[in-house]
Amino acid sequence: MNISVIALGKMGLPVAAIWAAKGHQVTGCDINPHLVALTNQGISHITHEPGLAERLPELVRAGRLRATTDTATGVADADLIIVLVPLDVDPVDHRPDFHGMDAAFSAIATGMKPGALVVLETTVPVGTTRGRFLPVLEAGGRRVGVDFYMAFSPERLQSSRIERDLHTYPRVVGGIEPHSGEMAATFYGENFDVPVFNLASAEAAEFCKLAESVYRDVNIALANELALYAGAHGIDFQQIIPAANSQPQSHLHKPGLGVGGHCIPVYPYFMLHDAEGAALTAQARATNDGMQRAGVDRIEESLGGLQDARVLLCGVTYRPGVKEVSHSPMLDMARELRTRGAVVGGHDPLLTTEEIAALGMIPAAPDGSWPADAAVIHTNDPYYRTFDPRAIPGLRVVLDGGAALDPALVADAGATYLGIGRPAVPARTTQEATR
């Protein structure tokens, strides 16, 4: 089968390579010429997907995968066209910005052949596939279900484990009309050997993905709310989670300094714009986005002020092991700290000093080279499990966002331990620590 994958980003390139490895002839279309050139040389611009960098050269050499910046030409022979152009929201009013997707669908409409199946895999607001993009493909008199086919099928994957997730998670599809849904269900079912939920419509499949995302955002917000309560009452919420979840109907999530990436903090807004009375979803967004400010409040209180205080943020990407800073809670935390007068250093094992500087932070490291009054360990990143507070000159406070550290070790090193949902442990003097 000839397949075109539109956009070769963190999702599109691995997905294109997986289809190519299954024996299909794949053309990847992306507007970024550098990325297209790299792909055609067999070089993966993504380093965190297991096996991708090794597999790509062979697929390109064998002629199974090629890339182009010309989407209209790139889809000309395709039986299946998969769209993975991202859809983000405006940072101020949180409205979706469709310009990249609109351009992609215009190009597809120009180039696609009769009988092609177009599947939108990017998460979108309910009604987008039919209301916004179907008319683009039908322009010129083509009819869905007769001249071409169209469905929505969300990618439910996580970066760094795309291949495993694709072969494990059931597939959700929804056709614009029944035959489109059946075609999509057949393609995915045959190629990935996973159960397929062929829902009643494209809208149902769009909503399924939004419902999953809102579920996660709301439950993380609940965990954050409970964690703040626990911490204020001297209770360690980390102990509560496994104990409460031993009751089969309890599924407490993990608290933290907020949620990041361009999925969970974004998709609830797709629903909020046309949802009457979705107060819980709106509150979850506010609660999760408020966690960075809550963290900064605690550091400020513990230090007795933030003016000229040096604060080192450890783990700037939104998730350990994934080189992605989009919507990372650490960006908001850095802004809030600077607003209150602090000097902000940043470190991440996946980011270069230039990349840290481009985010407005001073490139730094928790190795003694950057004295700091406070350090923040963003998540439970294995890289920081060996974090040694003694190594940082002047360190007085550590905020442990992902419960990665032993509070007693931090206190014994002479710094106050602050956790999310964990009682603070005051710094101990050397004499107290050795007693």
Task: Give contact residues for ligand NAD (rule: CB under 6 A).
Answer: 6-12, 29-32, 35, 71, 84-87, 100, 103-104, 122-123, 155, 157-159, 261-263
Euclidean distance between CA atoms 420 and 414, whole angstroms: 20
Which among 29, 208, 263, 314 is annotated as catalytic? 263
When the beta carbons of 261 and 346 are compared against ligand NAD, the nearer one is 261
When the beta carbons of 10 and 347 are compared against ligand NAD, the nearer one is 10
Q: Are 342 and 365 in contact (CB under 8 A)?
A: no
Which among 208, 209, 254, 314 is annotated as catalytic? 209
Collect all residues with Cβ–Cβ distance below 8 Å to 375 and sequence separation of at least 6.
311, 312, 313, 314, 366, 387, 389, 392, 395, 397, 398, 399, 415
Least separation in angstroms between residue 348's CB and ligand NAD is 17
The answer to whether residue 323 is catalytic is no
Question: Which residues make beta-bridge pairs with 174?
Answer: 152, 199
Amino acid type, 134: L
When the beta carbons of 202 and 230 are compared against ligand NAD, the nearer one is 202
Q: Are 372 and 345 in contact (CB under 8 A)?
A: yes
Least separation in angstroms between residue 320's CB and ligand NAD is 14
User: CA 193, 199, 202: angle at the middle one, nearest 5?
Assistant: 110
Q: Are 429 and 396 in contact (CB under 8 A)?
A: no
Collect all residues with Cβ–Cβ distance below 8 Å to 274 and sequence separation of at least 6.
125, 126
Identify the three-state secondary structure at position 169.
coil
When the beta carbons of 86 and 320 are compared against ligand NAD, the nearer one is 86
Least separation in angstroms between residue 195's CB and ligand NAD is 19
Buried b (16+ CB within 10 A) or exposed e, 354-381: ebbeebebebbbbeeebebbbbbbbbbb
Residue closest to ligand NAD (Cβ): 9
The tokens describing 159, both together, are: 């970066």
Identify the three-state secondary structure at position 92.
coil
When the beta carbons of 80 and 413 are compared against ligand NAD, the nearer one is 80
Least separation in angstroms between residue 424's CB and ligand NAD is 34
Least separation in angstroms between residue 127's CB and ligand NAD is 16
The answer to whether residue 314 is catalytic is no
When the beta carbons of 29 and 173 are compared against ligand NAD, the nearer one is 29
Least separation in angstroms between residue 153's CB and ligand NAD is 11
Active-site amino acid positions: 209, 263
